Amino acid sequence: MLKALLPLALLLLVAAPASAQLSFATTTHDFGAIQEGRTVTYTFVVTNRGSEPLTLRSVRPSCGCTTPSFTTAPIEPGGAGEIVVAFDSQGRPGAFRKSIGVTAMAGEKEVGETLYITGDVKRARLSEGVAQGHLLFDTDAHDFGRVAPDQQVSHVFKVQHTGTRPIRISEATTYPEGLHVVFPDGPIFADDLVDVRVTVPAGIADGAFDYAIVLQTDDEDQPSKSLRLTGTMR
């Protein structure tokens, strides 16, 4: 009798669900082609196939360009939770494969899984603009219109490298002085699309203002690049 029951007991032991088990319909998602600058998201659904509640403890991406959010409440046996992964493609042209490490707890037992997102970021391009040497600006002038005296305003000039040799912006000067200019601190390579942000501090003017911004570069074709910001502060 004991011998007859032994195979059945072994079968039940094998068939019994583990106390902690993560289950995903898929562990890899391919975004396909993405236009640079877009942020894309995908939701991985995790199911608790175990016999006790499961809690997602940490979800860690391999890159700062990937931002996860996830279900924090315990997932009951047979229940499901979500891991939402957002990928920021700005400044990351080309094919990519990013991993996301998932750790969960069921009682005292720790379980884990690795998820992957893949895709191919297509470099963004300016369709038109103002060429200054080998740098193409989306515009070389911006008018803020009317600005309140206590209001700080900024404008971002989009800049694309149309040449072949890397170009570096070494200095930004404003006339008159007082504006804050942020530009890439490294070389701008062929086809790169970058930002030059210019900020007009609050209370810098009383009435109409007209600022010139001169960027010094090592572009052999035209070293100095000129931009302009106008408006009325009152």
Structural domain boundaries in the chain: 20-122, 130-233
- Mean pLDDT, the chain, whole residue set: 90
- Tell me the percentage of the chain whose pLDDT exceeds 70: 91
Q: Which CATH number fits domain 130-233: 2.60.40.10, 1.10.10.60, 2.60.120.260, 3.30.1300.30?
A: 2.60.40.10
- What are the pLDDT digits (tens) for 67-115? 999 999 999 999 999 999 999 998 888 999 999 999 999 888 999 999 9
pLDDT at 124: 83
pLDDT at 208 over 80: yes
pLDDT at 127 over 90: no
Instruction: Please state whether 62 falls in left (phi above 0), alpha (psi between -120 and 50) or beta.
Output: alpha
Question: Would you say the C-alpha torsion 151, 156, 157, 163 has a positive or negative sign?
Answer: positive
Structure tokens at 34: 């993405």
Q: Which CATH number fits domain 20-122: 1.10.1740.10, 1.10.3720.10, 2.60.40.10, 3.40.190.10?
A: 2.60.40.10
Confidence category of residue 5, pLDDT binned at 50, 70, 90: very low
Question: Does the predicted model carry a pTM greater than 0.95?
Answer: no
Comparing 20-122 with 130-233, is the CATH topology the same? Answer: yes
